[in-house]
Amino acid sequence: MVITELAELSGIPAPTIKYYVREGLLPAGERVGGNRTEYDESHAHRLKLIRAMLEVGKLSIGAISGVLAVLDDPDTTIVDTFDIAQRALSRDTVSGISRGSDAALERVDGVLDRAGWTDCADNPGREIAARVVDAFDRAGHPLPDSYLDAYAASAQRMAEADLGAIAELADPTDMAELMVVGTVLGDTLSAGLRRIAQAYITTERRIS
Amino acid sequence: MVITELAELSGIPAPTIKYYVREGLLPAGERVGGNRTEYDESHAHRLKLIRAMLEVGKLSIGAISGVLAVLDDPDTTIVDTFDIAQRALSRDTVSGISRGSDAALERVDGVLDRAGWTDCADNPGREIAARVVDAFDRAGHPLPDSYLDAYAASAQRMAEADLGAIAELADPTDMAELMVVGTVLGDTLSAGLRRIAQAYITTERRIS
């Protein structure tokens, strides 16, 4: 299909599509004849992924580019894909937040210990969690360990659902893609459902 | 204290503090004498809250202003504070995402039913969750109900920890403040811990 057809199919304007090609997010179409460029289903699919990461995940173009580069590398294993994608995704989350203090990192390590999550000390999530611990402190509402542990148990349940969905797929490219999409979109799903659960529990406990 | 002292104490530059006053995020200081304005502890505390919401929560100035207005209204009950704050916070989350389809809203209602979350149909989290369901569909990875239900169970656990921490406070202003701070920062805490849990489970299950 030509670019106007791709634009119509994906709902993304042609100039934006050209911008994604220039930024390396989307492979260039195939030149057929002098000024005609052909795109196919793989371009349409890639555009859907980009849109999900931009709109729902609120990722920067730089983060999306890092994540897609991992998906495009056929030599990357699933574990490596996850690792590299997590680092690309985490850069947006921690941008503009001061580094986690040593005290906060120590508290997060305690959470990982109690959760039984071994060998995770270099995961970017550790730094994210430490920055949040510091932010609660600074805001005058330090978090008790029991709160952090409840969040860890909850995170484990989500991660089990994530990996369960991934394990049902057969194709490694599909698996890697769901890992990335799920990591981005799952955060927003969790935020939405947490809002509803908070409202339900507030009403149920008659807190007023 | 004068503005330079407040800037030093809070780590926020004086021009930024003046900008927050102009935008209504921070009450003006008290004029004492011709060109001297006094700030106090309440200003320092408010600045910490703003910084947490900006840096960790990545909220817009508009969203923060909406949330702070709720905290500043002495007539608002805790339930109302939560409701209004959630709406202000959700505006940022859903900005730029197409509205949830009827099919997706129906699927989310199924999740709420099975979770036993009654009377939550007008919670902004419902629309957020529906948009995520649509985004997974569009990205070519539709979510099974079991996945959504696992996320709902996990959300309930987090919300119980949130409300548990709030219930331990005596002062209604403190309670409302923790509700707001916790809603913003808890999303990021959950994202960080979920990354670690994903890495742990991927390694444990030897997915490669």
Residue B65 lies in a domain: no
**pLDDT number for residue B26:** 92
Residue B137 lies in a domain: yes
Is residue B93 domain-shared with residue B121, that is, in the same domain? yes
**pLDDT number for residue A54:** 82
Total domain count, chain B: 2
Is residue B15 domain-shared with residue B52, that is, in the same domain? yes
Residue A66 lies in a domain: no
**pLDDT number for residue B82:** 75
Is residue B120 domain-shared with residue B46, that is, in the same domain? no
Is residue B150 domain-shared with residue B122, that is, in the same domain? yes
Residues 146-185, chain A, touching B (beta carbon < 8 A): 146-148, 150-167, 175, 177-178, 181-183, 185
- pTM above threshold 0.90: no
Residue B15 lies in a domain: yes
> By C-alpha distance, which of A140, A106, A57 is closest to B182?
A140
Per residue in A155-173, pLDDT tens? Answer: 999 999 999 998 888 777 7
Give φ, ψ of B30 to 5 degrees.
-95, 125
Is residue B91 domain-shared with residue B193, that is, in the same domain? yes
Is residue B147 domain-shared with residue B200, that is, in the same domain? yes
Residue A70 lies in a domain: no
ipTM of the predicted assembly exceeds 0.90: no
Q: Which domain holds residue A4?
A: 1-56
Q: Rounded CA gap, A86 and A123, in Å?
A: 8
Summary count for chain A: helices (H), strands (E): 9, 2
Is residue B171 domain-shared with residue B96, that is, in the same domain? yes
Is residue A108 domain-shared with residue A9, that is, in the same domain? no
Is residue A140 domain-shared with residue A110, that is, in the same domain? yes
Q: Rounded CA gap, A100 and A146, in Å?
A: 20
Residue B172 lies in a domain: yes
Is residue B51 domain-shared with residue B146, that is, in the same domain? no
- Taking an 8 Å cut-off on Cβ atoms, the answer to whether B97 and A135 are in contact is no
Q: Which of B196, B202, B205 best probes binding to A when mutated, by most A CB atoms within 10 angstroms?
A: B196
Per residue in A62-83, pLDDT tens? Answer: 888 888 887 777 777 777 777 7
> By C-alpha distance, which of A180, A182, A159 is closest to A83?
A180
Is residue A124 domain-shared with residue A193, that is, in the same domain? yes
Residue A123's closest chain B neighbor by CA? Answer: B196
Encoded tokens for B41: 């502890």
Which domain CATH number covers B26?
A: 1.10.1660.10
Residue A65 lies in a domain: no
Residue A128 lies in a domain: yes
Is residue B127 domain-shared with residue B178, that is, in the same domain? yes
